[in-house]
Structure 1
Amino acid sequence: MNNGKSIFTRYFAICSAVILISFCCLGTVLLLVSSRYFLDEKKSLMLKDARALASYTQEKMLEQPDRWREDVAAEMKTYAIGSNSDYLLCSDDGYVVAATGGEVENIDPELLIKFNGTTTYSYDDLNGELDEVCHITGDSFSANGPRYYVLAYSPKSQQDNYTKNIMEIFMVSAIAVLLVVMFLVYFATLKLTEPITEVAEIAKKLGNGDFSVTLPEYTTKEFNELSIAFNEMAANLKSYDTMRNSFLANVSHELRTPMTSIGGFVDGILDGTIPKSQQNYYMRIISSEVGRLTRLVKSMLNLAKIEAGELEPNKTSFPVTEPILDTLLTFEPRIDEKNIDIRGLDVQRINMYADIDLIHQVMYNLIENAIKFVDKGGYIEFSFEDGEDATSVSIRNSGEGLAEDELPLVFDRFYKTDKSRGIHAQGLGLGLNIARSIVEIHGGKIMVKSLKGEYTEFTFTIPKAEKNEE
C-alpha cells in the first residue's frame, strides 16, 4: 500500500521551499547590491574629496609656501572624519608629507604613476605600507616645483563590516518575516486542502454505498465546480443504483415467472398430475414460456451490445414499408382476433437508409406494442414523411392511450404501462427501450404522444444517407 505524502504536506513543503529560495535569492542580491553600492559610493566620495584636497593644497602651497603644512594637515583630518576614510599627501619621489592614519612614510614612486592620468583607482596595500588591502583613489597636482599626490584610501574591512551589518539586519528581518509567513502559509494550506479532505471522506462513504451524501458549496470557484460535479455524480450513482436494483428485481421476476410455470407443468406431466389428454395443451404453454425466455435473453443481449458500442448498423437503402408488411404478417392471427383496421400503407415507395434487420426489430416492437393496446375493432394507422434530411415513420393506434405522467417513462427498461392492471403479462418491458436504442445508434430520434382515451402514436426519424455514404 502506497502511503505517500498528503497533498497538505506537499503543498506546504513546496510553498516553504519557494519562500526559502526567494529569501536566499533576495539575500544574495542584497549582498551584491549593498557591496557594490558601498564601493561605488565610497570611491566617488573619496575621489571627490581627494580632488578637493589637491585643489586646496595646491592653493595653500602657492599662497603660503612656508606655512601650508599645518593648514593642509588640519583639512585632511576634517575630510577624514567626514568620509570615514584616510588621506595622505606625498611628493613624486614617494615621500609622505602628511597622513591621517597609520605609519606611512614612503611610497614606491612607481605606484604613483597610475594616478597621473585618467586611472584614479587601485585595490592595493602599497607594497605593504598599508596595514591591509585598501580601496585607493587619488589625484595629482603641481605646485612650487615637484608634483604632489593626494591619495584617499579605505580598508576593505570597512566594506566587509558594512556588508556584514546589512546582512545581519536582513537575516533578523528575514527570520521574523519567515516565521509570520510560514504561520500564514500553514493555515492557508490547511484551509485550501480542507475541501479535498472533505471530498475524500465523502468519496469513501460513496464507495461504501451511501449515495445520499453531498458536498456543500465552496467560495473557491474550482472547488465549487468540483462540488457541483461531485453532487451530480452522487445523484447519478444513486439513480443508477436504483435502476440496477429495479433491473435485477425485474429480471428476476421475468425469469422466475416463466421458469416456475415451465417447472410446474413439466413436473405435472412427469408425475401424472396432468392427464395425457391435456399434455399437448400444457406443452404449448411451456413452448410459449420458453419463447418468452428466449426473447428476454435476446433483448438483454441486444441492449448489452448497444450500450457497449458493439452493435454497428449495416446501412442499406430499402422500402420503408417492407419491414412493416413482414411484421404485420407475423401478427396476422392477433390482428384478425381483435378485428384491427390497418391504415396508411397505400403510399408511394419511400426508401429508408438504415440497417433493415435493426429497423425490422424497431417495427416489430412498435407494432407489437400497438396491437397489445389497441381497442378491439380499433385501428392501427401508419404515416410517412420523406424529408430532405430524414425519413419519418409514425404508428398510431386507437385505444385507451397514455396518461401525461406516463409519457416520459415508456422508453425506460421494464416499464409497463399496464402493470397495475395485470393484463398482457407476456410483455417484457424492453421493447420500447430497445427501439429507442436502435434509433439512436442510427443518429435518429423517437417520440411518443398520446391523447387519453383516444390514441397513442410513436414517431421515429432516421437521417438520410450522406453523399459519401451512397
Structure 2
Amino acid sequence: MKHISIKLGFYFLVCVTFIEAVLFALLYFSLVNTRVDEEVSSLLARGNSHSDVLEKYFDPQTIMHVALMESEAETKVVITAEDGKILAKSNNVDTAMEEHLAKDMGSVPEKGMVIENHWKTSNYICTVSPIQVQGETKGYVYMFLGTDSIEKMIERLTHQFLVIAAITFLLTVVTMFLLSRSLTQPLIRMKKATERMSKGDLSVSLNIKSNDEVGELAHSIQTLANDLNYMKKERSEFLASVAHELRTPLTYVRGYADIAMRDTLSLEERNTYLTIIKDEADHVTGLVQDLFELAQMEKHNFIIEKQETDLYDFLEKIVTKVQLAYEDKQIRILLSCPKDIVVSIDQKRFEQVIINLLDNAYFHSQLSSIISITVKSSQSSIQIVIQDQGEGIPPEDLPHIFERFYRVDKSRTRATGGSGLGLAIVKEIVEFHGGTIAATSQVGKGSVFTITLREQ
C-alpha cells in the first residue's frame, strides 16, 4: 500500500504512453505522406503550368525563358522534343536525371503524370507533362525536385514531433502521478484507519465525502468503526452489568449460607435463611437462562416453532394465569380482542413476551390501577397494545429501554426488580416473529407498548 500511488501511476503511464506513441506514429506518418504528396502534386502542377505556356508559344525563345525561370528555384526543368532530344534545361543533367529521361513514358496523359515519387530510394521525385500543339505532342516538360530537400523537411518535422512528444511525456508523467496520488490518498488513509482499528483504536474519523465507490468504502469503514466502538462499549457495560447482577445474589447466598451453618440457630431461623438462599439461587438461574436465550438469539440458534393460534383464547389464558398474582396490588387486567383473529406464533415464546410486558406494567403500576390489553386488526397487520397507568418512563430513557441491562433507575438496587434483560428478550422474540415493538410513555400517566405483527 505504501507504493500504491507509484504503482498505479506507473501502470497508467505505461498505458497512456503506449496509446500516445501509437497516435503520434499514425499522425507522424500521415503528415509525412501528406507533405510528400503535396510536394509531388505541386511539382506536377508546376510542370503542367510550363507545358500550358509552351503549348501556346512553342518557340526557342519561350523554351529558354521557361528554363531560365527554373534556374534559381529548388526545382529543375528539362524540356525535350518528342524524340527525347533535350531542347532546354535549367541545370546540368546528372546521371539520376538521365535515367528518368531515358524511361519509355508510353502515352503520357494530358494532365501529366508522376514518374518517380519514392523519396527514400531515389535522388529525385520527377513528373512529366506533355506539350501538345493542335492535338499533336511536340515535346515534354520534365520537372525534378531533389529528395534531399524533402529529407530536410522531414527532419524538421521529426524534430518538432520529438520535442512535442517529450513535452507530452513529461506532462503525462506529472499528471498521472498527481492523479494516482489523489486517487490513492483516500485508500492510504483508510488503510491506516483499519490498522488503528486492528490495534483497538476505534476513534476513526475519515471525513471522505466523495460520491463514488471510494466514498462508499470510506463510509462503510467509518460505519464499521462506529459499530465496533459501540459494541466495545456495549461489551464493557454488558460485562459490568453481568458482574453486578451475579455479585449481589451470590453475596446473599454466601452470607446467608455462613449464617445458616451456625449451630446456635433454631430450625425456624435456618429455614428462613435457606429460603433466602433458594430465592437468590433462583434469581441467578433466571439470569443465566436469560443470558443463554440472548446468546442463542445472537447465534441464530433460537428456534421459533410457529403454529396457527386463536389470539383471543391465547391472551385470555395468560390473563387468567397472572390475574391472581396481581391481586395484592388490586390491579385489574382488561382484555379487548376480537374473537376471530388467528395468528401464526410460537405460543411458548410469545407467552413469554406478553407475561414479561404485563409483569413490567404490574411492577411500575400504582395500587388499584388498570392494565389493558387491546388488539387491533387491519388488512396488513395486527397490533397488540399493552397499556398501564404507572409511573411512566422519562423521555431521555425511552429510546434505551430495549437495551440489555438498561434500567430507568440507575441505582440498580434489588428494589428496581428484574435483571434488565426482560425487554431486550421481548424485542428479540418479537423480531424473530417478523414483527416490531415500540413504546410510548408520559411520566406520571403510564406507558404503552405496541407489538405489530404482519397479517398472515
TM-score past 0.5 threshold: yes
SS in 1 for 2:9: helix
Report what 1:391 is aligned to. Answer: 382
1:215 aligns with 2:212: no
Instruction: Tell me if the contact between 2:402 and 2:424 (Cα under 8 Å) persists in the aligned partners.
Output: yes
- Following superposition, the deviation at residue 250 of structure 1 comes to 1.0
Question: Residues 304-315 of structure 1: matches in 2 within 5 Å?
Answer: 304-311=295-302, 313-315=304-306
Q: Which moved more, 1:440-449 or 1:289-298?
A: 289-298
Distance in 2, Cα, partners of 1:301 & 1:98: 117
1:93 aligns with 2:83: yes
1:53 aligns with 2:43: no
Report what 2:125 is aligned to. Answer: 135
Alpha-carbon displacement from aligned partner over 1:2-42 (angstroms, at most 9, x marks no partner): xx663311332134224423431332123112212112211
Instruction: Tell me if the contact between 1:90 and 1:96 (Cα under 8 Å) persists in the aligned partners.
Output: yes
Report what 1:20 is aligned to. Answer: 17
- Following superposition, the deviation at residue 362 of structure 1 comes to 0.9
1:407 to 393, 398, 408: 398
Instruction: Tell me if the contact between 1:442 and 1:463 (Cα under 8 Å) persists in the aligned partners.
Output: no
Instruction: Tell me if the contact between 2:63 and 2:79 (Cα under 8 Å) persists in the aligned partners.
Output: no
- Following superposition, the deviation at residue 455 of structure 1 comes to 2.5
Distance in 1, Cα, partners of 2:386 & 2:333: 10
Distance 1:110 1:191, change over 3 A: closer
Report what 2:345 is aligned to. Answer: 354
Instruction: Name stretches of at least 5 consecutive residues in structure 2 with no aligned partner.
Output: none
Instruction: Name stretches of at least 5 consecutive residues in structure 1 with no aligned partner.
Output: 126-130, 466-470
Distance in 1, Cα, partners of 2:137 & 2:452: 116
- Following superposition, the deviation at residue 187 of structure 1 comes to 4.0
Report what 2:69 is aligned to. Answer: 75
Report what 1:459 is aligned to. Answer: 450
Report what 1:468 is aligned to. Answer: none
- When normalised by structure 2's length, the TM-score is 0.84
2:4 to 4, 7, 13: 7
Distance in 2, Cα, partners of 1:174 & 1:15: 17
Distance 1:312 1:168, change over 3 A: farther
SS in 2 for 1:459: strand
SS in 2 for 1:403: coil
SS in 1 for 2:406: coil
Distance 1:248 1:173, change over 3 A: same
Instruction: Tell me if the contact between 1:95 and 1:107 (Cα under 8 Å) persists in the aligned partners.
Output: no
1:343 aligns with 2:340: no
Question: Residues 161-310 of structure 1: matches in 2 within 5 Å?
Answer: 161-216=152-207, 220-222=210-212, 230-265=221-256, 277-310=268-301
1:122 to 105, 115, 118: 115
1:437 aligns with 2:428: yes
- Following superposition, the deviation at residue 247 of structure 1 comes to 1.1
Report what 2:41 is aligned to. Answer: 44
- Following superposition, the deviation at residue 417 of structure 1 comes to 2.4
Alpha-carbon displacement from aligned partner over 1:280-338 (angstroms, at most 9, x marks no partner): 44444444334333333332333334344444643332122444444456546632433
Distance in 1, Cα, partners of 2:195 & 2:101: 86
Aligned CA RMSD, in angstroms, stands at 3.5
Letter in 2 for 1:91: A
Q: How many correspondences in the alignment?
A: 450
- Following superposition, the deviation at residue 124 of structure 1 comes to 6.8
Distance in 2, Cα, partners of 1:50 & 1:347: 112
Instruction: Tell me if the contact between 1:94 and 1:107 (Cα under 8 Å) persists in the aligned partners.
Output: no
Letter in 2 for 1:141: I
Q: Which moved more, 1:395-404 or 1:267-276?
A: 267-276
1:364 aligns with 2:364: no
SS in 2 for 1:449: strand
Report what 2:104 is aligned to. Answer: 111
- Following superposition, the deviation at residue 166 of structure 1 comes to 0.6
Q: Which moved more, 1:358-367 or 1:341-350?
A: 341-350
Distance in 2, Cα, partners of 1:235 & 1:7: 27
Letter in 2 for 1:137: T
Report what 1:128 is aligned to. Answer: none
Letter in 2 for 1:72: V
Distance 1:455 1:70, change over 3 A: closer
Residue identity (%): 23
- Following superposition, the deviation at residue 279 of structure 1 comes to 4.7
Letter in 2 for 1:26: L
Instruction: Tell me if the contact between 1:58 and 1:143 (Cα under 8 Å) persists in the aligned partners.
Output: yes
Distance in 1, Cα, partners of 2:318 & 2:269: 32
